[in-house]
Amino acid sequence: MPIISAPQEFNEEDLYVDLATLLGSPLYLKCEGFNFTGSVKQKAAVAMVEAAERSGLLTPGSVLVESSSGNLGVALSVIAAAKGYRFVCVTDSRCNLASKRLMEAFGTTVHTVTEPAREGGFLAARLALVRKLCEEDPRCVWLNQYTNEANWRAHHRHTAPAIARAFPGLDVLFVGAGTTGTLMGCARWFKEHRPGVRVVAVDSVGSVAFGHPPAPRMIPGLGTGIRPPLLDEDFVDDVVLVPESDTVRMCHRLAGRGFLFGGSTGTVVSGASRWLAAQDGGAAPTAVAIAPDLGERYLDTVYHANWVQDIYGTTPLELGIPAGPAGDTRVLAPTSPSNS
């Protein structure tokens, strides 16, 4: 029976959903949303805060400042409240209202950027505001999830080994790409300890992470307007790009079976399903995908009929028809480490 004295002390590592019946391909979904911050970002948040404390950068009276599209902001809000720090989160207009309200409930000050930068979009605009806040107040400490090695090290230490213990015969792992902290932590661990496991990155169409052209994206979480400094493509075997309409479609297919997952999870599952369906015959691989969060924070967006129709020009019913993955999801040709 777990007994904790701080919310960040509990993290569920061993819950998986078997999606074979839904997808027609064997896929186990690692559910990261069952902790007190509600997402996989709890691991990176804890690791970055504790590293800053050990280094002396973060001290009593410090003000945490971070840019986030939602989940990391919630995770840091919980940890800041538990540890007694003030926290200022810089987000943008795509952040779910539920995430903003959660942050504010923990005492976080939320700044919402409403105009994207000409180069780098909303992320660049958020980072500019973070730098401005830090210049104005010497108490501010910016953890900088985009360059902080504690981000990927958290998943190298916890997430990847947990998957390896649960699936000793693992063949392929699907990980969403945002800051690429989860992706790089897992990819590095498997290349070091289980090099036969293929690591497939799943990204959103419109993200520039892997060198593709920018385009508007409305679902927070995966994807980025600036190439992630943490990303090292030598550790990534394949990349799958998923249009947001496929993300919404997959979220509704999962909800139709009683599983309410977040937008990032819909993207990862959609990309994994497409990748698995494209494989030539032979024995089905043992495959795991990481589900970053649950769906409650997306009730006003991905699961809201008017929002879906306004953004994508179609209804959730049309997007949620139980069918195979949409043909417009693109799977990039496999790349070897030397050609990445």
Q: Who contacts 1 (Cβ-Cβ below 8 Å, separation ≥6)?
A: none
Strand order in the sheet with 140-142: 109-113, 86-92, 63-67, 140-142
Mean pLDDT by 10 residues, the chain (340 residues): 89 94 94 95 97 96 95 97 97 93 97 91 93 95 96 98 98 96 98 98 95 91 91 97 94 95 96 93 90 95 91 67 36 32
Tokens 């970053």 belong to residue? 292
Contact 178, 72 (CB under 8 A): no
Pseudo-torsion of CA 209, 213, 216, 220, nearest 10°? -10
β-strand partners of 315: none
The tens digit of pLDDT for each residue in 137-172 reads 999 999 999 999 999 999 999 999 999 999 999 999
3-state secondary structure of 293: strand
pLDDT of residue 323: 38
pLDDT of residue 283: 82
Label each residue of 133-158 as H, E or C.
Answer: HHHHCCCEEECCCCCCHHHHHHHHHH
Write down all domains in the chain, each with its CATH number in brackets: 7-36+149-339 (3.40.50.1100), 41-142 (3.40.50.1100)
| Sign of the alpha-carbon torsion through 315, 295, 15, 161 | positive
The tens digit of pLDDT for each residue in 123-140 reads 999 999 999 999 999 999
Q: Who contacts 238 (Cβ-Cβ below 8 Å, separation ≥6)?
A: 198, 199, 200, 201, 275, 331, 332, 334, 335
Distance CA 262, CA 280 (A): 30
4: Cα separation from own chain's centroid: 26
pLDDT of residue 269: 97
Residue 330 corresponds to which tokens in the numbers above? 């693109």
Instruction: Please state the pTM of the whole predicted model.
Output: 0.90
pLDDT of residue 119: 86
If 0-12 CB within 10 Å is exposed, 13-18 middle and 19+ buried, where does residue 75 land? buried
- Other Cβ atoms less than 10 A from the Cβ of 286: the count is 16
DSSP state of 23: H
**N- to C-terminal Cα distance for the chain?**
46
Q: Of all helices (H) and strands (E), which one includes residue 27?
A: none
Distance CA 147, CA 152 (A): 10
